[in-house]
Structures are given as C-alpha cells and as structure tokens.
C-alpha cells in the first residue's frame, strides 16, 4: 500500500509528525504538508530528521529524504588549493554578527538560479530560532563587505546546515572550514547536509540510510546544549 501525505494540524505543536519511514519515495522524502513554522514545531522536526522545503505561495512541505547527505566533521576535505587560500587570510570570518543578512543573501542567491525556497516566512521563523540561540550564521567579510557565509541550526552535538552563499571565490568554503574547526573543538558529531550534491561530496559529505541518520539524532540531539560560545568562531 502506498504511503499518503500526512496533514499537519495547526492546533498541535508537539508530536504531530508521522514516522519518517512513511515519507514518499517519489518525490523522495516528502512526508507531510501544512502546519506552520512555529519554533517548537521546527525544533521537533529537526530532532526527528525532518525539515521544511517549499516555494513562496505553497503550503509548507516537510521532508525526510532517504538516503541522507551528512558530513562527519573530522572528514571534511580541504583541497591543497583551499589550504593555500586559507593561509592568505583574504577574509575576516565572524559568527552570529549578521544572521539576517546571511539569510537574505542565501535567499537571493537561490532566487538567481531557479526561485528561492527561503521564503519570507522562513526568514522570520529562522530569525526567531536565532534569537533563541538555536540558529547560527558564519560570515565572511572582505573590505568590510559581506561576501559569503552559511547558516544552520545546532541541537545537541548536531549542526543542521541549511544554506550557504558566496559572492567571492571560496568565501562559503572558508566559512565552512571555520565552522568545522569549532564544531570539532566542541565535540560535535555530525553536520546534516540534507540532500546529496557533487559540491558537498567534494567537501567530504557522504550519504547514509535515513534510519541510521535518525538513530544518530536520537543519540546526539539530546540534551539540547545552547551554551557554546558561537561568537568565538572568528579570525583575529
């Protein structure tokens, strides 16, 4: 029997997602529809391996693809050319200094390609996650101008990467290197990359079965630790 899409109740916040095993095979990982982007609902989604992904004007679509693309921090691949670039220190790197600007830049970068999934509602919802110290950004600056960065959500020892942008060569890659260095220092175990891409694969990302990914979340997302000093992700 084919799985059917689950409709999220607007009245319920906690425990209103179905088992991710019920996600559709085509399109890969589509699990549920509806609801809202309330902070409690978003955190519940990420803890259970689910994320929102939809276009402006659509109802909210919730996904849990199988397999899942992940990066184990210790396995980040830094090419020889990128190592050389890092030694040149072309960028000033900071964290949580321009979260909304990074969101808007990521949305603009997507819009230039084929329409953005970082909708106006998502920008506001993830900004609220940032205010509550769940969502974080990495910024790369050149001559005082924001030229690259990324953002995501940190729960326990897992960082859920959401999006990155680069307006100068290597800017987003440099931001990722700085992020991974700090995550390793804090003993983070996993970076969620959501879906496979050749770009992420070149950086060391691999795909794992969804069931294994969810088991890792059960192990590493609880308890939620918000005590890390994100502002220390910066060069001097």
- Over the stretch 135-164, which tens digit does the pLDDT of each residue have? 999 999 999 999 999 999 999 999 999 999
136 and 114 fall within a common domain: yes
Looking at residues 158-182, what average pLDDT do you find?
Answer: 96
pTM: 0.93
Last residue of a domain, one of 42, 65, 88: 65
**pLDDT of 15 above 70:** no
Q: Is residue 26 part of a domain?
A: yes
Closest C-alpha among 142, 173, 3, 161 to residue 79: 173
Q: What is the pLDDT of residue 56?
A: 86
Q: Which structure tokens are listed for 231?
A: 């502002």
Q: What is the pLDDT of residue 234?
A: 73
Q: Is residue 48 part of a domain?
A: yes
77 and 167 fall within a common domain: yes
59 and 175 fall within a common domain: no
**pLDDT of 192 above 90:** yes
**pLDDT of 107 above 70:** yes
Looking at residues 62-82, what average pLDDT do you find?
Answer: 97
Looking at residues 64-91, what average pLDDT do you find?
Answer: 96
Helix 120-131 with 39-47: angle, nearest 10 deg: 80
Mean pLDDT of the chain: 90
Q: Is residue 183 part of a domain?
A: yes
Q: What is the pLDDT of residue 109?
A: 66
135 and 218 fall within a common domain: yes
88 and 32 fall within a common domain: no
Q: Is residue 1 part of a domain?
A: no
Q: What is the pLDDT of residue 117?
A: 76
Q: Is residue 46 part of a domain?
A: yes
Which structural domain, as residue segments, surrounds residue 92? 69-232
114 and 152 fall within a common domain: yes
Report the DSSP beta bridge partners of residue 190. Answer: 158
**pLDDT of 180 above 70:** yes
Report the DSSP beta bridge partners of residue 69. Answer: 194, 207
21 and 135 fall within a common domain: no
Last residue of a domain, one of 32, 65, 98: 65
132 and 205 fall within a common domain: yes
Q: Which structure tokens are listed for 12?
A: 């319920």
Q: Higher pLDDT residue, 169 or 8?
A: 169
Tell me the three state secondary structure of residue 8: strand
CATH number, position 16: 3.30.70.3550
Whether the ω angle into residue 223 lies within 30 degrees of 0, i.e. cis, is: yes
Q: What is the pLDDT of residue 228?
A: 81
**pLDDT of 14 above 60:** no
Last residue of a domain, one of 65, 82, 100: 65
151 and 209 fall within a common domain: yes
210, 118 contact by CB (below 8 A): no
């Amino acid at each position: 029997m084919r799985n059917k899409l689950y409709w999220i109740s607007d009245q319920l916040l906690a425990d209103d997602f179905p088992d991710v095993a019920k996600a559709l095979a085509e399109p890969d990982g589509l699990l549920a529809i509806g609801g809202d982007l309330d902070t409690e609902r978003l955190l519940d989604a990420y803890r259970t391996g689910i994320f929102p992904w939809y276009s402006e004007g659509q109802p909210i679509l919730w996904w849990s693809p199988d397999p899942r693309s992940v990066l184990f921090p210790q396995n980040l691949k830094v090419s020889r050319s990128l190592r050389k670039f890092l030694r040149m220190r072309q960028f000033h790197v900071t964290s949580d200094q321009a979260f909304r600007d990074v969101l808007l830049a990521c949305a603009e970068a997507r819009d230039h390609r084929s329409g953005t999934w970082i909708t106006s509602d998502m920008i506001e919802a993830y900004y609220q996650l940032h205010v509550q110290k769940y969502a974080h950004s990495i910024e790369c600056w050149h001559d005082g101008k924001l030229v690259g960065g990324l953002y995501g959500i940190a729960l326990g020892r897992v960082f859920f990467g959401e999006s990155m942008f680069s307006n100068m060569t290597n800017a987003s890659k440099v931001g990722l290197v700085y992020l991974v260095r700090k995550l390793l220092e804090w003993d983070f175990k996993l970076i969620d990359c959501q879906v496979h891409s050749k770009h992420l694969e070149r950086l060391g990302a691999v795909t794992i079965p969804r069931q294994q990914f969810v088991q890792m979340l059960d192990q590493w997302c609880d308890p939620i630790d918000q005590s890390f000093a994100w502002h220390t992700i910066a060069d001097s």
